[in-house]
Every structure is written in C-alpha cells, then in structure tokens.
Amino acid sequence: MKLMIVTDTAEKIKSMEIRGAGRIARAAAEALRDHALSVQAPHTAAFRQEMERAAAILVATRPTAVSLPNAVHLVMNGIGQAGTVDEARSGVTRRAEQFIQSSQHAVEKIAEFGARHIRDGDKILTHCNSEVALACIIEAHRSGKEIEVFATEVRPRNQGLITIQTLNDAGIKTNFIVDSAVRSFIHDIDLVVVGADAVTVNGAVVNKIGTSQVAHTAVEARVNVLVAAETYKFAPKTVVGDLITIEERPSSEVLPDEIAKTLPHVRVRNPAFDVTPAEFIDLIITEQGVIPPQMAYIIIREYLGWDIAEFH
Ligand code: RI2
C-alpha cells in the first residue's frame, strides 16, 4: 500500500525540514489523516495494521519530542472499536483534525498566558526556536509592552536564525548572540522564555541542547525561567519510570566529515537536547494554565488521557 505521504513527512521530520516539537506533531497528524484517506483495506483489522505501520514510521523519526508519539497516539485512538473501514477512517481523520486545531488553539492560549508574565520594559532571553515561546513574546509586544529580546545562535543547526527572522518581522528589538555569550549578558536580562520538547512527571524540561546551561546561568543571576509547553509535550510514560531518550544527531552537523576524518583520536558528540531540572524552572505555561514544574503530574493525569494500563 502507498505510504508515500507518510514516508515523505517522516523524511522531512528526520532531516529537520519540518522541526519544532509542535510542528512535528501537527505534521504527523496530517500525514496520518492523509494516509487514512488513501488506504484501501478489506476490513478494519487490515486498516488498523496499515495505520499502525504508518504510525511506527512517524514515531521513529525523532526520539525526543514527546509531542510526536502523543499526537500519533491521540489520532490512532480514533480507530477505537470501529466496525467498518469507513468508521475507522473517519475516526482517524476526525481525531487528526481535532489535534491540529487544538494544537493551534493551545499556542494562542499560551501566548495569552505567557504574555501576562512579561512586563513592560523587560529584556527577554530565548534559546532555540520555539513557536510557543515566541508566541508569548510576540503577544507581549502586540499588547503594547516595550520589550527587547536576546536570541542565541543555537549551534549546530542555527535555529536562532529563524528566531531572529520572526522577531524582526514582528518589529521586536532583538540582539543576536552566540550560545557561549549567555553568561556575559545575563545581568541585562529580566526573564528567560524557552520552549520544550518534553516535560517529565517530575517537572524536568527536555529542550534544545544548551537550555540547561541557560537556565543554570539564569538561576545563578536570579533571573526567572519560564517554559512554554502545550500539554501534549508532557510525557505520560515518565509516570511509570521511562526516561526520555536524548537524540544524538550526526557528527557532521558539528564538524564536516572531511575534517573529522583527519582527526582519528577525536570523537564528535552531538546530543540535540538536554535536561533542565525542575529546580531551575519557575513556571511552565500550558494552555490549561500556568503551573510550577512540580505540578507536571497533574497535567499528565488530567489532560493527556493515557490509561496507566496502556503501559503494560
Ligand atoms: P515548539 C525544538 O526542537 C526546540 O528544542 C524547541 O525549543 C522545541 O522544539 C519546541 O518547539 P528542534 O526540532 O514546539 O529544533 O515550541 O530540534 O515550536
């Protein structure tokens, strides 16, 4: 059966042509929806099997952003107890549409809540390129607060370039700094706002490599750290002790292969994410409200709808 739509999206997620935890999740939901519409199956069991194959391809693309398996899980639940292929198909497409819409709505809500924590005159530091973190900053600016942003470069993939483009387009005064300059500027900063790829049950935040250094530096300088994260970035399986896998990407992103091969004793390491402990985070802004990180468990129980039995 044709898996083109799914493999194409999977390739784009892997290569980071589609990136950012929220965007990855929406792209996966769209791919599952489109695949469901094209699958020809003689009965629901065959339809389910085909959809599960597609879901597995999508989930395997990037291991860290929990938004991806959460979105796939929500969409796949649309098959439920469907008696016919058509019922199963419409269950999937409905769930996919619902997820995409609720995700967009969540970004708007978080922008509204997050902007309330940004004061007139604030200088804000952000790291990487987070749709929701930027939505908070842009909403604060839109509501008339005079703000200034410090955006990091974000080695090795330079997502900071996307960030400064977006901030510039919004007309926000922005300073572009290299990652290692954060501590040099921290005393100019009033607030750190970042996104998340995953939030664990104990309130730790997994985000772009360097986030924990930024947060540590902020804590030392007594600067508040806000994390903007939709509820589908909370990781249900951490409730039963699973750890988040930190993706290690190709070394060529850090050092070109031609140079690396002249250095036989050097191993290039390229973890894409790191873990910021709950103690370094003041608040997590979700679409369901603003919580201290220690309340992550409540979000997982109340809003993600995973049944503990599903983990066994
Ligand atoms: P939004 C990104 O990962 C960054 O780590 C970013 O902070 C996080 O996802 C959340 O992004 P990558 O795809 O969902 O650049 O807020 O590796 O856009």
pLDDT tens digits, one per residue of 242-257: 999 999 999 999 999 9
Question: What pLDDT was estimated at residue 309?
Answer: 56
Distance 26 CA to ligand 1 centre (A): 13
> Do 91 and 209 meet the contact criterion of CB atoms below 8 Å apart?
no
Distance 206 CA to ligand 1 centre (A): 10
Strand partners, 40: none
- Cα angle vertex 194, ends 193, 200, to 5°? 125
Handedness of CA 127, 129, 133, 134 (dihedral sign): positive
136 in active site: no
**Separation CA 246–CA 78 (nearest Å):** 29
Of 70, 152, 197, which is best to mutate to test ligand 1, by the most ligand atoms within 8 angstroms of its C-beta? 197
Distance 312 CA to ligand 1 centre (A): 30
Dump pLDDT digits (tens) for 83-113: 999 999 999 999 999 999 999 999 999 999 9
Report pTM.
Answer: 0.96
Give the pLDDT mean for 68-80. Answer: 96
Question: What pLDDT was estimated at residue 306?
Answer: 61
Q: Mean pLDDT across the chain, nearest whole number?
A: 96
Handedness of CA 55, 61, 63, 65 (dihedral sign): negative
Question: What pLDDT was estimated at residue 303?
Answer: 84
Give the pLDDT mean for 277-297. Answer: 98
Q: Residue 68 contacts by C-beta under 8 Å, 6 or more apart in sequence? A: 13, 21, 24, 25, 28, 58, 59, 61, 62
- The Cβ of residue 122 has, within 10 Å, a number of other Cβ atoms equal to 18
Dump pLDDT digits (tens) for 7-62: 999 999 999 999 999 999 999 999 999 999 999 999 999 999 999 999 999 999 99
pLDDT at 114 over 60: yes
Question: What pLDDT was estimated at residue 305?
Answer: 67
SS3 229: coil
DSSP letter, residue 83? S
Of 129, 166, 286, 287, which is best to mutate to test ligand 1, by the most ligand atoms within 8 angstroms of its C-beta? 129
Catalytic pick among 34, 122, 136, 197: 197
Question: What pLDDT was estimated at residue 3?
Answer: 87
**Pure H helices in 143-265:** 160-169, 182-185, 211-220, 257-260
Question: What pLDDT was estimated at residue 311?
Answer: 56
Of 26, 128, 225, 273, which is best to mutate to test ligand 1, by the most ligand atoms within 8 angstroms of its C-beta? 128
197 in active site: yes
Name the residue type at position 55.
A
Q: Which residues line ligand 1 (CB under 6 A)?
A: 19-23, 128, 130-133, 159, 194-197, 207-208, 272
Distance 231 CA to ligand 1 centre (A): 14
**Pure H helices in 39-144:** 44-59, 67-76, 85-116, 131-142
**Separation CA 297–CA 108 (nearest Å):** 23
